[in-house]
Amino acid sequence: MFASFSRRLTSWYVVAAVTFVVVILSALALAALYAYVHLVQGNIDADAREAEAFSARAVMRRETFVAAAKEFEGRMNRPGVRMVAFMGPPRPGDRDGREYTRPMLLKPGPAPTHHAVPRPPSARANDGPPPFDGPPTLVVNGIVLRGDPRHQAFDGSRIGFALETAFGGRLRRVDFVGGALSLVPDVNATFAVATWLLLAIAGVAALVGLLAWFGGRYITTQVLQPLVEVTHALQRFAARDFTPQPVTVAGKSEFDAIALAYNAAAAQVAAAFAERQAAETQMRQFVADAGHELRTPLTIVLGYIDLLRRKADDGDERSRRIFAAVAAEGARMRVLIDNLVLLARMEGDDARPAEPFDLRPLIDEIVDARRILAPSLQIDVDLSVDAQVIGNRDEIHEAIANIVDNAIKYAPDAPLRIAADASAGGVDVTIADRGPGIQPGDQAAIFDRFYRGATRGDVEGSGLGLAIAKRAVERAGGTLVLQSSTADGTAFVLHLRADQVRRRETRIARA
């Protein structure tokens, strides 16, 4: 419940946290890279100043360019700086300044820089290669490359070179007698620093994302908990579970107001149901007490009426009809009181003991009793199983008898069928008639007390028979449903708990 919304909310937390951290760390990384480039540029400028001073001393000492270049190379100890030495006369169009303005990509070497430079013509033969008359010669890592050094391209990091250029890095050229030294940034080192910063940003962002996920899950759970509990409580209400279960409020969410409002409403509903239950209990008790109190005087009255009716048999016809009508209404009142007392008892807490009993003798007993009163009844009994039904025998008897009596009252000349078959966890008893059926508008209320449908006609009744039958079956742990009702008849199905259900090879059928 709310799982999809919780995941989306947690994802928003993660995206927001990671974006914020990446932006901050990217700004810090750019600042660090800018500082590194300018630090390297400071080293280049410092080395260039030393190289200029060293060039002046080399002139005073009359040192060759090769010796001066090697000696200065040994003195270089600042990080991030590489030295490229080349010799030859200046080319036409070269600037006289000490800075190269055109970019050069230099091939990185295993050491900071190790260069061998040819000797000028005045040097000894074993000091280096012979003099040359062509264009300037560039020597990098012992490899001689001919051509203009400003136009040479080497396999350095293009990303590092782009970063150096973007952040203001530049090379410096120092002229010597017979050659020149170029001090350039180590673009591979710059690229390595940028890579390390990028990996650091990725690692920190991943860690922050993981922490934000767990933190977001915790926060989301705390925020949505009141909504989840209120939804569960409302679902219990929808399932007719009105047991008051207040929602716990931790005071950590803005949704706590919903939980508090629900708790207040649930308390009111629980109080209303408690009052209703108390009123129903009092009503059931009143009906039971009134029924018991009315039974005795009604029995006495009916006895006197029967006595007077017998004496009136020798009198006029009018007296006999009066006493017969009074006796019939008294009997009807007695049935109504008995049904009210029975229903009040069934809706109470005094459950009758449930014991296994045979279903077939019970059905035979009900059918035989009706046939004695009306031998012309067409009742077909079709039992495909023998079953031990679990429940109170008298109450199950009352349930089946009420449904059979209803069918006989509304369709006395129509055939009636009683069948039993095995079902999941018990046995199904089907009672079907060929009567007028129940109107669709009446089917939802047929189990209500005192309800009588539109097809009742002149049939007498109290409207309690089906209510008593349904309650009796429910007390036994079963169900009573209206399976179908059309103009051709009605069928009720009683699902009863049973054990030792045995299917018969030959069905027991009686007509």
CA-to-CA distance for 104 and 107, rounded, in angstroms?
10
User: 476-486, pLDDT tens digit by residue?
Assistant: 889 999 887 77
Question: Is residue 213 situated within a structural domain?
Answer: no
User: 340-359, pLDDT tens digit by residue?
Assistant: 777 777 776 666 777 888 88
Same domain, 334 and 359: no
* Amino acid letter, residue 345: R
In the chain, the largest separation of any two C-alpha atoms, in whole Å, equals: 173
pLDDT of amino acid 97:
34
What length is written for the chain? 511
Planar angle of CA 141, 145, 150, nearest 5 degrees: 100
Distance of CA 263 to the CA centre of its chain: 24
- Which of 168, 193, 218 marks a domain boundary? 193
The CA distances from residue 5 to 8, 11, 209, 235, 279, in Å, are 5, 10, 19, 19, 44
Planar angle of CA 188, 189, 192, nearest 5 degrees: 90
Same domain, 188 and 284: no
SS (H, E, C) 391-419: ECHHHHHHHHHHHHHHHHHHCCCCCEEEE
Phi/psi at 508 (5° precision): -90, 110
The CA distances from residue 382 to 72, 355, 418, in Å, are 119, 24, 6
Same domain, 385 and 462: yes
The CATH number given to whatever domain includes residue 328 is: 1.10.287.130
CA-to-CA distance for 247 and 225, rounded, in angstroms?
10
Number of domains in the chain: 3
| 466 close to 403: Cβ distance less than 8 angstroms | yes
Q: Which among 305, 312, 311 is positioned nearest to 334, based on CA atoms?
A: 305
Q: Which among 35, 43, 28, 56 is positioned nearest to 83, based on CA atoms?
A: 43
| 69 close to 176: Cβ distance less than 8 angstroms | yes
CA-to-CA distance for 342 and 87, rounded, in angstroms?
124
Pick 506 or 260 by higher pLDDT: 260
The CA distances from residue 360 to 179, 385, 470, in Å, are 124, 9, 20
Same domain, 177 and 50: yes
- How many CB atoms lie under 10 A from the CB of residue 477? 14
Same domain, 339 and 459: no
- Which of 140, 161, 193 marks a domain boundary? 193
pLDDT of amino acid 148:
44
**Residue at token pair 């189990």:** 447
The CATH number given to whatever domain includes residue 457 is: 3.30.565.10
Taking residues 123-129, what's their average pLDDT? Answer: 35
CA-to-CA distance for 468 and 346, rounded, in angstroms?
8
Look up residue 359 and give its two tokens.
Answer: 């279903």
Q: Which of 53-57, 142-146, 500-504 has the highest mean pLDDT?
A: 53-57
pLDDT-derived band at 123 (thresholds 50, 70, 90) equals very low
Pick 506 or 386 by higher pLDDT: 386
Give 225: exposed, middle or buried? Use CB within 10 Å, 0-12, 13-18, 19+.
Answer: buried
pLDDT-derived band at 156 (thresholds 50, 70, 90) equals low
pTM for the model: 0.47
Query: What is the residue-averaged pLDDT of the chain?
Result: 75
Pick 438 or 323 by higher pLDDT: 438
**Residue at token pair 């962002």:** 205
Taking residues 243-253, what's their average pLDDT? Answer: 68
Q: Considering just the CA atoms, what is the radius of gyration of the chain in Å?
A: 54
Question: Is residue 207 situated within a structural domain?
Answer: no
Same domain, 330 and 418: no
Question: Is residue 388 situated within a structural domain?
Answer: yes
pLDDT-derived band at 262 (thresholds 50, 70, 90) equals confident
Lowest mean pLDDT among 105-109, 300-304, 433-437: 105-109
pLDDT-derived band at 249 (thresholds 50, 70, 90) equals low
Pick 113 or 382 by higher pLDDT: 382
| 226 close to 254: Cβ distance less than 8 angstroms | no
pLDDT of amino acid 126:
35
pLDDT-derived band at 501 (thresholds 50, 70, 90) equals confident
CA-to-CA distance for 343 and 33, rounded, in angstroms?
90
Phi/psi at 421 (5° precision): -150, 155
CA-to-CA distance for 384 and 387, rounded, in angstroms?
10
pLDDT of amino acid 28:
93
| 492 close to 480: Cβ distance less than 8 angstroms | yes
Question: Is residue 224 situated within a structural domain?
Answer: no
Same domain, 317 and 409: no
- Give the helix ranges, DSSP H, for 382-487: 393-410, 465-475
Same domain, 488 and 340: no
Same domain, 416 and 450: yes
Phi/psi at 452 (5° precision): -130, 130
Question: Does the pLDDT at position 196 exceed 90?
Answer: yes
User: 18-33, pLDDT tens digit by residue?
Assistant: 999 999 999 999 999 9
Question: Is residue 269 situated within a structural domain?
Answer: yes
pLDDT of amino acid 376:
81
Q: Which domain holds residue 90?
A: 3-193
Question: Does the pLDDT at position 473 exceed 80?
Answer: yes
Pick 84 or 118 by higher pLDDT: 84
Question: Does the pLDDT at position 59 exceed 70?
Answer: yes
| 389 close to 357: Cβ distance less than 8 angstroms | yes
Question: Is residue 237 situated within a structural domain?
Answer: no
Question: Is residue 244 situated within a structural domain?
Answer: no
Helix then strand then coil, in percent of the chain rounded to 5, is: 55, 20, 25
Same domain, 279 and 374: no
Same domain, 436 and 394: yes
DSSP assignment of 240-294 equals T-----PPP--S-STTHHHHHHHHHHHHHHHHHHHHHHHHHHHHHHHHHHHHHHH
Look up residue 436 and give its two tokens.
Answer: 């007028």
pLDDT of amino acid 450:
74
- How many CB atoms lie under 10 A from the CB of residue 270? 15
Share of the chain above pLDDT 90, in %: 10
Same domain, 429 and 448: yes
Taking residues 153-162, what's their average pLDDT? Answer: 67
Question: Is residue 210 situated within a structural domain?
Answer: no
